[in-house]
Chains A and B, each alone.
Chain A
Amino acid sequence: MTTTAAHVPTARPTPTPTSTAPTGAAAPTGSTEPVVPTMPRHLLSAGDLTRGSAELILDTAERIDQAMAGREVRKLPTLRGRTVVNLFFEDSTRTRISFELAAKRLSADVINFSAKGSSVSKGESLKDTAWTLQAMGADAVVCRHSASGAPQQLSGWVDGHVINAGDGTHEHPTQALLDAFTLRRHLGRLDGRRIVVVGDVLHSRVARSNVLLLSTLGAQVTLVAPPTLVPVGVDAWPAQVSYDLDGALTGADAVMMLRVQRERMSGAFFPTEREYSRGYGLDERRRALLADDAIVMHPGPMNRGMEITPGVADGVNSVIVEQVANGVTVRMAVLYLLLSGEMDGGL
Chain B
Amino acid sequence: MSVLITGGAPYGEQPADILVVDGVIAAVGADAAADPRARDAEVVDAAGLVVLPGLVDLHTHLREPGREDAETVATGSAAAALGGYTAVFAMPNTDPTADTAGVVEQVLRLGEQTGLVDVHPIGAVTVGRKGQKLAELAAMATSAARVRVFSDDGDCVSDPLLMRRALEYVKAFGGVIAQHAQEPRLTQGAQMHEGEVSARLGLTGWPAVAEEAIIARDCLLTDHVGSRLHVCHLSTAGSVEVVAAAKKRGTNVTAEVTPHHLLLTDERAQGYDPVFKVNPPLRTEADVRALRTGLATGVIDIVATDHAPHASQDKETEWDNASPGMLGLQTALSVVIATMVRTGLLDWRGVARVMAEAPARIGGLTDQGRPIAAGEPANLVLLDPQASWTVRGADFASLSRNTPFEGMELPGRVVATYLRGRRTASAGVALGAES
Contact = CB atoms under 8 A, between A and B. Distances in A.
Contacts of B319: 147-150, 153
A172 B197 CA distance: 17
A234 interface: yes
B203 A149 contact: yes
Interface in A244-275: none
Contacts of A231: 198-199, 205
Interface in B136-168: none
B297 interface: no
Interface string B305-328: 000000001001111110000000
Contacts of B317: 125-127
B36 interface: no
A104 interface: no
B344 interface: no
Contact of A232 (B207, B316, B320): B207
Given A152-B272, A153-B272, A232-B194, A126 B318 contact: yes
B313 A236 contact: no
- Interface-central residue, B194, B200, B321, by most chain A CB under 10 Å: B200
B202 interface: yes
A10 B179 CA distance: 68
B203 A234 contact: no
A258 B102 CA distance: 56
B327 to A, nearest CB: 20
B201 interface: yes
B202 A168 contact: yes
Interface in A93-124: none
Given A152-B271, A232-B195, A235-B196, A169 B202 contact: yes
Interface in A138-187: 145-150, 152-153, 167-171
A145 B271 CA distance: 16
A180 to B, nearest CB: 20
Contacts of B205: 231-233
Given A152-B271, A152-B272, A232-B207, A147 B321 contact: yes
A167 B195 contact: no
A125 B316 contact: yes
A298 interface: no
A149 B201 contact: yes
A208 interface: yes
Contacts of B273: 153
A170 to B, nearest CB: 3
B320 A237 contact: no
A188 B202 CA distance: 31
A193 interface: no
A152 B207 CA distance: 25
Quick one: which of A127, A168, A171 has the most chain B CB within 10 A?
A: A168
A208 B202 contact: yes
A205 interface: yes
A283 B320 CA distance: 37
Given A205-B202, A232-B194, A147 B271 contact: no
Contacts of A152: 271-272
Contact of B200 (A126, A146, A150, A233): A233
Nearest to B207: A232
A231 B313 CA distance: 31
A127 B316 contact: yes
Interface in A207-243: 208, 231-237
A148 B199 contact: no
Contacts of B196: 233, 235-236
B132 to A, nearest CB: 25
B184 to A, nearest CB: 15
Nearest to B321: A147
B199 A147 contact: no
B322 to A, nearest CB: 9
Contacts of B202: 148-149, 167-171, 205, 208
A311 B200 CA distance: 34
A237 B200 CA distance: 8
A99 to B, nearest CB: 21
A170 B200 CA distance: 7
Nearest to A150: B318
A126, A208, A231 — which one has the most chain B CB atoms within 10 A of its CB? A231
A148 B318 CA distance: 8
B203 A232 contact: no
Contacts of B204: 169
Contacts of A149: 201-203, 272, 318-319
Nearest to B322: A147
Nearest to A127: B316
A296 B261 CA distance: 46
Nearest to B316: A127
A147 B317 CA distance: 10
A150 B316 CA distance: 11
A204 to B, nearest CB: 9
A51 to B, nearest CB: 19
A145 B318 contact: yes
Interface string B248-273: 00000000000000000000000111
Contact of A148 (B207, B313, B316, B320): B320
Interface of B: 191, 194-205, 207, 271-273, 313, 316-321
Ordered nearest first, which 10 A-B pairs have the shortest CB separation?
A: A149-B272, A170-B202, A233-B199, A147-B318, A231-B199, A233-B196, A169-B202, A148-B202, A147-B320, A236-B196
9 contacts: A147-B319, A150-B272, A152-B271, A153-B273, A168-B202, A168-B203, A169-B203, A208-B202, A233-B195
Given A232-B195, A233-B199, 14 more contacts: A147-B320, A148-B202, A148-B203, A148-B272, A148-B319, A149-B201, A149-B319, A152-B271, A169-B202, A169-B204, A231-B205, A232-B199, A233-B196, A235-B196
